[in-house]
Structure 1
Amino acid sequence: MNAFDNMAFHLTAERFGEFFEALRQTFRLYAPTRFEKRGRFSDTDSIRYADIQTPDALEWREKSHFSPKEAVFPANQSLFQFVNDAWIEPATDDRPLLVFLRACDINGMDRLDTIFLENGGVRDPYYDRLRGNVHFALLECQQSFDTCFCVSMGTNATDNYEMALRIHEDGAADVLIRSDDLRQRIPAGAAASAFAPTFPTRDGSPVNVPPLDALTDAIRDDDFFDHPLWDDYSQRCIACGRCNFSCPTCSCFTTLDAAYDENPQFGERRRVWAGCHVDKFTDMAGGHQFRKQNGARMRFKTMHKIYDYQRRFGKQMCVGCGRCDDRCPEYISFSTCINTVSRTLKEGR
């Protein structure tokens, strides 16, 4: 902590632009932005994370369709390249990265940190290298969106940020600064403010997470794994993986070696996103395949999000952002699934 901790300022639209430009001199600015006519349908937009240059490009009114996890866990990452018997690691952009994100996503980053840096006592070097450059700028979220359930998951608030923002319709902003480095970039003469970020207190789609003891007892009963509640997902889920790829805490990946026809001695090894809903995720040598039914995949994901991770690390893995509900083409609701599990356990069926 230092003398500049928790200093807040009100910036007019013009001053906010100056502040952004000052930040750009040191940081890459990574934030949700709108891509027109790039959404699910031809007349809809896509909101996803990308490098931005001005405050106007920052989309703060709507929830992004994808999470900011690509900042530390790219969807398609070259680990190393090889030429004959030699190999080299590709160059990376080592500039500090300031990520603008909501409280649920900051908590999501915490879950990724646990998986890649603490799980099994081994730090993933590729994740670690990118994560070391990341700084958080909190986007205030005063109320939940329709499909959010972060309050139920205990991820609606956070104290893990260096800057917090409340952006106004006229382009002005209130900014809370918690580091000397960022404070020095505030335009001279900026007015002081009493701003402190607020957090949602009510969910758009509340969930009732079953207690660990009840889940433990259910797991010991084979009837739970074969329960008819999972059959519905076998019929509806099409195994597209959109829920996995939009989720801020899904961390599964596969690796592949790519060689080139022109010179098979030259190629690279890549880390590529994978997910429990995607076909061939559980394929093994000898033709063995686990969880062939999509309902079994839904059961695996559900138990991982609300049971396995919590039992091991003491906190919920799912952060309740609701993106899986938003992105599913079959309108499958994960919040409804959690509530169905809770109701099933309570009724003892």
Structure 2
Amino acid sequence: MKHAQTYQLTVNEMNEFLEQLSKKYDIYAPVRISCGGRYAKDDSIIYQPINTYQEIEFHERSTYPLKEVLTPITQTLFYFTEDEFKESKSPQKDVLIFGRACDINSIKIQDQIYLQNGGVEDYFYKRIRDKIKFILMDCPEQFEGCFCCSVGANKTDMQSLAVSDNNGSAYVGIYDSDFNNYFAKYSAVDHEIQTPLENELKVDYPVIDNLDLANKLKEHPMWKEFDARCIGCGSCTVSCSTCTCFETTDIVYTQNAHIGERRRTCSSCMVDGFDKVAGGQSFRKKPSEKYRYKILHKVYGYNARFHTGPMCVGCGRCSARCPELISYPATLNKLSQAIKEIKGGVQHD
């Protein structure tokens, strides 16, 4: 990560800074929602617009990833009548998003899928993506299940600013000269904002370097256990930083069948019906088949298309959100072992 000019600001000064930024930018950050979690007394941490520094949750991982700002779970694309349509409003301001290195790096993957996939740019993604800049948050604690260092997502070069919370003050690093004027009255300090250098959890991330190996892995018995474990709820993919699958649905208003809206809604390869084709045929009926498809796409399919590495930034949310406690890192380690077996000529019944 390139070195930045760094300043130390009090909380009040940070609030003044955010107020100045809000004249030009909508600002999003992870915010704690009391009793908004999976269980009655659990909190959730989700991305929301903020006005003050105190709203930002620095010390826990957000429940859902940064991508929610760009591609909400449900998004209206346009409204229609019987003879015309009108697209939904695009952001009026530019956008600043606080995010950790893994989440910011995940947007590189989103960009490839939405902007570089088949030579066609997704209009609704691009209109907000062009307005976005990122504020890097450091990671003062290790989050359970994180393995960003194993996939090289612990550092990023996409940030315009970086912020490190310092118990009553904040260090702010500038990487984009557009923000220099905001700090003209402050003196720089000697401090470098750090991102994780090592995770407690280390993953032997599998490398599938050819289609023949991928096809052999499909037949490996390691997948069988997931028929009894996976319930196909899709929680892992909804919380994933990099998953992009969606469905488009026309919602027709009850009062007038000729008026409505077209929505894009987050979907998942883990749920029944995702792979249904004309005629009603589905190709992956068992939970193990769905789970295998997801894993091999993350590890092999995405890289085979874009040649930029795995479709994963090691954020750990998929494992954290799984109600059946299925560990994605454990699956990756099993897959690495299966690759060694196949390359070593081990036979399975």
**TM-score when normalising by structure 1:** 0.94
Residue number in structure 1 paired with 2:200: 204
How many residues align? The count is 340
Residue number in structure 2 paired with 1:189: 185
Q: Which amino acid aligns with 1:182?
A: F
- State how far apart, in whole Å, the 2-side matches of 1:89 and 1:55 are: 34
* Cα offset, 1:6, TM superposition: 2.9
Q: Secondary structure at the match of 1:39?
A: coil
Residue number in structure 2 paired with 1:65: 63
Q: Which amino acid aligns with 1:285?
A: A
Residue number in structure 1 paired with 2:48: 50
Residue number in structure 2 paired with 1:219: 214
Q: Which runs of 5+ in 1 are unaligned?
A: none
Residue number in structure 2 paired with 1:289: 282
Q: Secondary structure at the match of 1:162?
A: strand
Instruction: Name the % identity.
Output: 39
Residue number in structure 2 paired with 1:144: 142
- State how far apart, in whole Å, the 1-side matches of 2:244 and 2:257 are: 31
Q: Which runs of 5+ in 2 are unaligned?
A: none
Residue in structure 1 matching 2:234, options 218, 226, 241: 241
Residue number in structure 2 paired with 1:254: 247
Q: Secondary structure at the match of 1:71?
A: helix
- State how far apart, in whole Å, the 2-side matches of 1:52 and 1:168 are: 19
Residue in structure 1 matching 2:173, options 168, 172, 176: 176
Residue number in structure 1 paired with 2:332: 338
Residue number in structure 2 paired with 1:97: 95
- State how far apart, in whole Å, the 1-side matches of 2:144 and 2:340 are: 26
- State how far apart, in whole Å, the 2-side matches of 1:217 and 1:262 are: 55
Q: Secondary structure at the match of 1:302?
A: helix
| Large movers: runs of 4+ above 3 Å | none
- State how far apart, in whole Å, the 2-side matches of 1:269 and 1:78 are: 6
CA contact (8 A) 1:143 1:200 kept: no
1:14-51 CA distances to partner (integer Å, 9 max, x unpaired)? 21121111111211110000000111111110011111
- State how far apart, in whole Å, the 2-side matches of 1:318 and 1:141 are: 18
CA contact (8 A) 2:59 2:139 kept: no
Residue number in structure 1 paired with 2:259: 266
- State how far apart, in whole Å, the 2-side matches of 1:276 and 1:258 are: 23
Residues 211, 93 of structure 1: CA spacing in aligned structure 2 closer, same or farther, 3 A cutoff?
closer
- State how far apart, in whole Å, the 2-side matches of 1:211 and 1:70 are: 29
Q: Which amino acid aligns with 2:110?
A: L
Q: Secondary structure at the match of 2:259?
A: strand
* Cα offset, 1:191, TM superposition: 3.1
Residue number in structure 2 paired with 1:124: 122
Residue number in structure 2 paired with 1:17: 15
Residue number in structure 2 paired with 1:318: 312
- State how far apart, in whole Å, the 2-side matches of 1:85 and 1:231 are: 52
- State how far apart, in whole Å, the 1-side matches of 2:15 and 2:141 are: 26
* Cα offset, 1:226, TM superposition: 3.0
* Cα offset, 1:81, TM superposition: 1.1
- State how far apart, in whole Å, the 2-side matches of 1:216 and 1:206 are: 26
CA contact (8 A) 1:240 1:278 kept: yes
The two structures, once aligned, show a CA RMSD in angstroms of 1.5
Q: Secondary structure at the match of 1:174?
A: strand
CA contact (8 A) 2:220 2:338 kept: no
Q: Which amino acid aligns with 2:340?
A: K
* Cα offset, 1:143, TM superposition: 5.3
Q: Which amino acid aligns with 2:245?
A: C
Q: Which amino acid aligns with 2:326?
A: I
Residue number in structure 2 paired with 1:303: 296
- State how far apart, in whole Å, the 1-side matches of 2:72 and 2:97 are: 14
Residue number in structure 2 paired with 1:329: 323
* Cα offset, 1:144, TM superposition: 3.4
**TM-score when normalising by structure 2:** 0.94
- State how far apart, in whole Å, the 2-side matches of 1:196 and 1:109 are: 24
CA contact (8 A) 1:71 1:130 kept: no
* Cα offset, 1:189, TM superposition: 3.4
Q: Which amino acid aligns with 1:22?
A: Q
Residue number in structure 1 paired with 2:39: 41
How do 1:69-84 residues align onto structure 2 when only pairs under 5 Å count? 69-84=67-82
1:156-193 CA distances to partner (integer Å, 9 max, x unpaired)? 101111001111122x001011223322223x532311
Q: Which amino acid aligns with 2:193?
A: P
